[in-house]
Structure 1
Amino acid sequence: MSELTKKHTFVICAYKESPFLEECIISLKKQRLKSNIIMVTSTPNSYISSLADKYQILLKVNTGESGIVQDWNFGYNQCNTPYVTIAHQDDIYFEEYSLHAVTCLERCKKPLIYFSDYCEIRNGKKVVNNQLLRIKRILLLPLRINLLQRSRFIRRRSLALGNGICCPAVTFAVNNLPNPVFTVNFRSDEDWEAWERISKLKGCFLYDSSIQMGHRIHEESETSIILGDNARSKEDYEMFCKFWPKWMAKIIVKFYSKSEKSNKVN
């Protein structure tokens, strides 16, 4: 077990003064398999630094270009372990997440990413089933079969109908991936675009169908803001065009946008 602890890092991307940051930190500290934990930010302030001090977490400041993707890439590159999870400050990780991730990655000859199923956190309560979650689980259904996780065709077909992979639920096998992982092309679909590129590589998408983390949905989350200003539909269309003819992409995006409405806070 002690050897496994040296192989994984949670990097928390902290931004401004999230009231949920401490809960995220505590969930990482309570992991059954202890991992390295660091924190990065492009908005340094006393709130973030005080929490880093309180929990004895190394804090690094991104003094270069800031933004969601830029911060993710910066945090990713601060880690020196073969496996990295970019922890979003509003989310929580259940106590067996790192154990599941590292064990699964270690068993695979050439892993690319590990990702678990997830629940939503709404008003402090876990939501394990709604329209969006059901659709995502259907999209990922073929990847529950181990032999199909190495198939480029299967994982691209899974991504072709939408992004079923929850970004904070992903752990990256650094040594088998390009750097940077994310490109500064999108505001909302930066993760889907990364999965699309990674899906072309030789290796495995390791899908854990058990719920190992909670993704928080609230009014100030970036997802809710993006859905509020309709910025996502344009990017969704661009992504569908990577898999389908333009005329087909236009049809699919209309249905896909309806499913995203469950991400809005009622």
Structure 2
Amino acid sequence: MYEPSDHTFVVCAYGESPYLRYCLDSVCNQNICSHVIVSTSTPNSYIAELCDEFSVECFENAGAPGIGKDWNRALSHVETPLATIAHQDDVYLPEYAESLLDCFNRSKVPLIYFCAYGEIRGNEIIDYSPLLNIKRFMLSPLKNPKHWKSVGLRRLILSFGSPISCPSVSYNLERMHLPLFNEEMKCSLDWDAWERISMLRGDFVYDSTVRMRHRIHPGSETSHLIEDSTRTNEDYEMMCRFWPRALAGCMNRLYSLSQKSNSISK
């Protein structure tokens, strides 16, 4: 049985995000007490002061920052079997850690836990939208725990896109091949990770309740990558893992329409 002491939130901090405080507040005030640490490749006094305020340890990474590098470095600082990479712009509802432990303990061989998520746009909380509803529909077969272990089902789901929100995921590091993320990719590295993990023996543990919210804003890395077509190109390569290239191209053009919902006008 997993206990609260078996789980760590590792918050990836970059620059001087005005949202970092809200993220730290959300992970430090869960219904159960997990470990909380911060990992940064851009150490500065702003991050250091917030870490002092919330009494969390900050790990400073050497070398140039990069999404894959930063996520791999973040996981390398974790000393517990379970870990959540918390993105500095996002917030976790108080029940998140409680839910992941409950769900992991219902699984004989858990690989990853993930939950439904909402969005924050400006001051507006959005838990339901056409895109969010589509992603939840894609994941709906996994609402039945009997389907968590089905390799074929989860690969079928992933063949149509990536409905799993990266910051909603917790990893059973005892079952992962580390480093986990492809550092050559810039945007679809989470989809790439799910695709590789999907072939492992074990469970994709899903909670269909909204347990965290992802912030959409102009300064986010996702918005930048959409603007320069990085995401479209990497998504096409992911589609090619499941479909013939010609069909993958058609499907990717449809899938790219979802990018409009992941960006915001400046």
Shorter-chain TM-score: which interval? Answer: over 0.9
Q: Distance in 2 between matches of 1:108 and 1:146?
A: 8
- Partner of residue 156, structure 1: 155
- Partner of residue 264, structure 1: 263
- Partner of residue 225, structure 1: 224
- Corresponding residue pairs, total: 265
Q: Distance in 1 between matches of 2:46 and 2:240?
A: 42
- Partner of residue 63, structure 1: 62
Give 1:124 shift.
2.1
Show structure 1 runs of 4+ deviating over 2 A: none
The AA in structure 2 aligned to 1:246 is: R
Unaligned runs of 5+ in 2: none
Tell whether 2:213 aligns with 1:199. Answer: no
- Partner of residue 34, structure 1: 33
Give 1:109 shift.
1.0
Give 1:84 shift.
0.1
User: What per-residue deviation string (whole Å, max 9, x for no partner) do you get for residues 41-73 of structure 1?
Assistant: 000000000101111110010113421111111
Give 1:107 shift.
2.2
1:76-91 matches, cutoff 5 A? 76-91=75-90
SS in 1 for 2:201: coil
The AA in structure 1 aligned to 2:124 is: K
Q: Percent identity?
A: 45
Q: Which moves more between the two structures, 38-47 or 57-66?
A: 57-66
The AA in structure 2 aligned to 1:249 is: A
The AA in structure 1 aligned to 2:189 is: E
Give 1:237 shift.
0.4
SS in 2 for 1:214: strand
SS in 2 for 1:181: coil
1:41-190 matches, cutoff 5 A? 41-190=40-189
Unaligned runs of 5+ in 1: none
- Partner of residue 5, structure 1: 4
Contact 1:132-1:260 within 8 A present in 2 as well: no
SS in 1 for 2:55: coil
Q: Distance in 2 between matches of 1:195 and 1:72?
A: 14
Q: Distance in 1 between matches of 2:68 and 2:184?
A: 9
Over aligned residues, Cα RMSD in angstroms?
Answer: 1.2
Q: Which moves more between the two structures, 157-166 or 176-185?
A: 176-185
SS in 2 for 1:150: coil
- Partner of residue 254, structure 2: 255
Contact 1:131-1:259 within 8 A present in 2 as well: no
Q: Distance in 2 between matches of 1:79 and 1:142?
A: 31
The AA in structure 1 aligned to 2:245 is: K
Contact 1:83-1:102 within 8 A present in 2 as well: no
Q: Distance in 2 between matches of 1:190 and 1:162?
A: 13
Give 1:192 shift.
0.3
Q: Distance in 2 between matches of 1:25 and 1:225?
A: 24
The AA in structure 2 aligned to 1:40 is: S
Q: Distance in 2 between matches of 1:65 and 1:19?
A: 22
User: What per-residue deviation string (whole Å, max 9, x for no partner) do you get for residues 162-203 of structure 1?
Assistant: 000000000001101111111113111010000000000000
Contact 1:82-1:173 within 8 A present in 2 as well: yes
